[in-house]
Structure 1
Amino acid sequence: MKPIQVKDIRKLLQGELISGSELWNVRNAIYYNRHGLTKRNTLMFVSRSDSVNWHEINTKGPSLVISDKPSSELKNALSDTTVIKVRSLVQAYWKFMDYYRNLFQIPVVSITGTCGKTTTKEMIKHILMKDWNVQASISSKNEPRQSLPYLTGIDQNTKAAVFELGLGNSGNIKHQCMIYQPTIGIITNIGVHHLDGCGNLEGYIKAKSEIVDGIKPNGTLILNADDANTKKVPLHSFKGKIIYFGVNKMSDFRASNIRFTKNGMDFNVHLSKKRYKAFIPGFGEHQVYNALAALAAVNEMGMNIQEAISRIATYKNMSRHLEFSSGIGGSTIIDDTWTNNPTSVEAALKVLDSIGVSKNVILVLGDINRLGNFEKKYHREIGSLVAERNIHTLITIGSKAEEIAKQAMEDGTKANVHVFKDVTGVMNVLKPMLDSHAILLIKGPMSSRSMIDFANSLKENK
């Protein structure tokens, strides 16, 4: 965080100094009771309902408390704590966030989509970080509550920021865009997810579309030209620049001649009537789409496309994202337990179509959560996708995933089907099948520690 003097913060918020000194600099910011207080020189927003441990705050002093609690409560602060009373904590919070964001005239990228958010964010960071100090959200920790520490992680040395936007409910993306005020927005794709918070697919598309109005004036929107649901995003109100990526010939960043190679994907990038050879570690056409979105973003920031392509070739694929490992008995294990939704399942199955030829393909699928009233429908659709393929064994784990098995059998799958309520007993079925001819894909929700651990147990030397 760029240091800011307490006196300047008080003036900005038009607050009343209740106690303590204002002649020191704030170097961190949190929302009390949402983020842990771990550092000195921290500004904290304290709501009326928060129970305050004044001793803890004081031990990390100097500390700054901004609150709309009654003055009688705020006077309990100890000597190393400065207290500023404001009329409305919510208004003070947003005023501070807007002030802090606009201290920096740097590229800020915000990314949403059903799949590929984290990977695209990490690709952009990887490409830029050789030359630039880049602030980015951590892993897939993309909840709105993380926005304050992520934003204030920008400082005077930051050259660019890249943030992933989480969506659990309608309004989440709008909220985060108000904080980050992105200059570049990316929608990787829109599939099916979080229908419990958005009502239905139309509500989910509408929630994803919030990024359009969240981009700063004259900013850039990067969209998947080939994604059917992204085409439903209303763009009439957007006055900035739009860049499309995909395999469609109308794409500004277009991929062609996509091929599986030993460690990833070879493809050509077409841009401004020129063609460039490219490679991205990690398997699947979806990985090429992620790379195109990342290349479009860094090119928009001014990076030479040839240089960006050379850097993305050294990107290290994330763990549990279609991660290949040697497994029991010489088998191949594909661990895709990072996330689980219909879009990511379909992408993983397409990878199996290419690399599972002449292999005994084993598919282990867990529950897909957050589908609301559409759980049965989308699990059944996956069952139909499975039935279309040459799969040797299908194993489902969980009560929701059982619908996958039912539909696959109804559709006449040739796979041997096994249904389990949890991972207990699954290894007994699998172990005799695991040899050098077996390739096993395991997908489950990231919230399922048991499936993550089970995936690791299938790997050699784990």
Structure 2
Amino acid sequence: MKPIAVNEIRKVLGGKIISGPVNWKVEDAIYYKRHDHMRRNSLLFTSRGDEINWVAIDKKGPSLVITDKSSINLKEVLPNTTVMQVTSLVQAYWKFIEFYRNQFQIPVVTITGTCGKTTTKDMIRHMLSAKWNVHASVSSKNEPRRSLPYLMGINDHTQAAVFEHGLGNSGNIKHQCMIYQPTIGIITNIGVHHLDGCVNLEGYIKAKAEIIGGIKDGGTLILNADDQNSKKLRLDGFKGKIVYFGTDAKADIRASRITYGVGGMDFILHIDRKEYSAYVPGYGEHQVSNALAALAAVNEMGVDIKFAISRLKTYENMDRHLEFSKGINGSTIIDDTWTNNPTSVEAALKVLDSLGKGKNVILILGDINRLGNFEKKYHREIGSMVAKRNIHTLITIGKKAEEIARQAMRDGSNANIRIFESVRDIGNRLDHLFDDHSLVLIKGPMSSRGMIDFAKSLKK
């Protein structure tokens, strides 16, 4: 955080100092409920219902407590703690965020989408970080409660920031945009997920669309020209620049002649009426889509496209993102246990279509969570997708995933189908299926420790 004098914060918030020193600077801002993680020179927003531990706060002093409590027992306040009283804590909170964010005239990119958020964010960070000081959210830790700490991570040395949006319920992205105030917003794609918090697909699309209204005036919106649900977004109220990426001929940044290369995808990049040979590590056309979104963003920030392409070649994929390893009995294991939703399952199946030719293809699928009342519908759709493919063995793990197996059977799948209620039921019952001709894809939710550990056990 850029250090801010206590008196300057008082003026911005219109607050009143009722106790403690003012001749120091704040170097972090947090919610009081996270005070266990506080450090010295912290500002703490405390709600009226918070029982304040003045001793713990003072030990990490100097500290600034901002409160709208009408009465404070000043005898409990210790010397290292400054207390500022405001009329409304909510108004003070947003005034502070607005003030702090406006200290920095830098590009801020935020990303949402059903799949590819973390990969796209990390590609952007990787391409920029060769020459710029870049601040970014960590891994896929994108919950709204992390937004304030991430904003506070921007300081005078930061030249660009890249964050991804978490979506559990409608309103989450709007809230995060109010904090980040992005200059560039990206929607990688819109599939199906979090229907328990958004009621249905229409509600989910609407929740993703919150990023459109959250981009700063004059900013840029980057959209997937190939994605059908993205075409349902209402864009009439957006006053900034719109950039489309994809394979569609009308896309502003386009990929053609996409082929599987060594460890990744080769493609021709079309931008500004010019063509470039490009490569992105990681298999699948969805990986090319992620790369296009990232290239579109850095291009908007003025990065030379040839340099960006050269940096993209050196990007390192995240663990458990279609990660290839040698496995049991000489098999090849594809670990894709990072996330699990219908869109990512379809993308993984397309990779199997290309790489599984002539192989003994084994598909291991776990439950897909957060589909609300549509659980059975989408698990069954996956079962139908599996039935159309040349899958030697289909293994489902979990009560929800059982619907995949049942539907594959109904659709006449030729696969050897095995159903397990949990990972614990498997033991070594499947070991005989694996040999040096086996290509094994395992896909399950990141919340399932059992699936993650099972994937590890399959690797050599």
Measure the CA separation in 2 of the matches of 1:70 and 1:231: 50
Measure the CA separation in 1 of the matches of 2:244 and 2:50: 46
Residue number in structure 1 paired with 2:184: 184
Measure the CA separation in 2 of the matches of 1:283 and 1:185: 25
Residue number in structure 1 paired with 2:28: 28
Residue number in structure 2 paired with 1:83: 83
Measure the CA separation in 1 of the matches of 2:171 and 2:329: 49
Contact in 2 for aligned 1:34/1:145 (Cα 8 Å): no
- The SS at the match of 2:361 is strand
Q: Any residues of structure 2 matched to 1:288-437 within 5 Å, and which?
A: 288-437=288-437
Could you say if the C-alpha distance between residues 74 and 364 of structure 1 is closer, same or farther in structure 2, counting changes exceeding 3 Å? Answer: farther
Measure the CA separation in 2 of the matches of 1:237 and 1:252: 21
Give, in angstroms, the shift of residue 52 of structure 1: 1.6
Give, in angstroms, the shift of residue 71 of structure 1: 2.6
Residue number in structure 1 paired with 2:133: 133
Give, in angstroms, the shift of residue 4 of structure 1: 0.2
Residue identity in the other structure for 1:98: E
Q: Structure 1: which 4+ aligned runs deviate by more than 6 Å?
A: none
- The SS at the match of 1:424 is helix
Q: Deviations over 1:24-43 (max 9, x none)?
A: 01111111114643311111
Measure the CA separation in 2 of the matches of 1:103 and 1:274: 37
Measure the CA separation in 2 of the matches of 1:93 and 1:425: 50
Give, in angstroms, the shift of residue 89 of structure 1: 0.8
Residue number in structure 1 paired with 2:269: 269
Measure the CA separation in 1 of the matches of 2:402 and 2:178: 41
Aligned length: 460
Contact in 2 for aligned 1:383/1:407 (Cα 8 Å): yes
Q: Deviations over 1:24-83 (max 9, x none)?
A: 011111111146433111111111111221111111111111111233346522111111
Give, in angstroms, the shift of residue 259 of structure 1: 0.6
Q: Deviations over 1:326-385 (max 9, x none)?
A: 101111111111100000000000000011111111111111010000000000000000
Residue number in structure 1 paired with 2:250: 250
TM-score by length of 2: 0.99
Q: Any residues of structure 2 matched to 1:51-66 within 5 Å, and which?
A: 51-66=51-66
Residue number in structure 2 paired with 1:447: 447
Give, in angstroms, the shift of residue 429 of structure 1: 2.8
Contact in 2 for aligned 1:74/1:83 (Cα 8 Å): no
TM-score by length of 1: 0.98
Give, in angstroms, the shift of residue 295 of structure 1: 0.3
Residue identity in the other structure for 2:8: D
Could you say if the C-alpha distance between residues 74 and 362 of structure 1 is closer, same or farther in structure 2, counting changes exceeding 3 Å? Answer: farther
Q: Any residues of structure 2 matched to 1:36-185 within 5 Å, and which?
A: 36-73=36-73, 76-185=76-185
Measure the CA separation in 1 of the matches of 2:432 and 2:306: 48
Measure the CA separation in 1 of the matches of 2:265 and 2:372: 35
- The SS at the match of 2:311 is helix
Gaps of 5+ in 1: none
Measure the CA separation in 2 of the matches of 1:49 and 1:440: 52
Give, in angstroms, the shift of residue 425 of structure 1: 3.2
Measure the CA separation in 2 of the matches of 1:422 and 1:272: 52
Contact in 1 for aligned 2:30/2:38 (Cα 8 Å): no
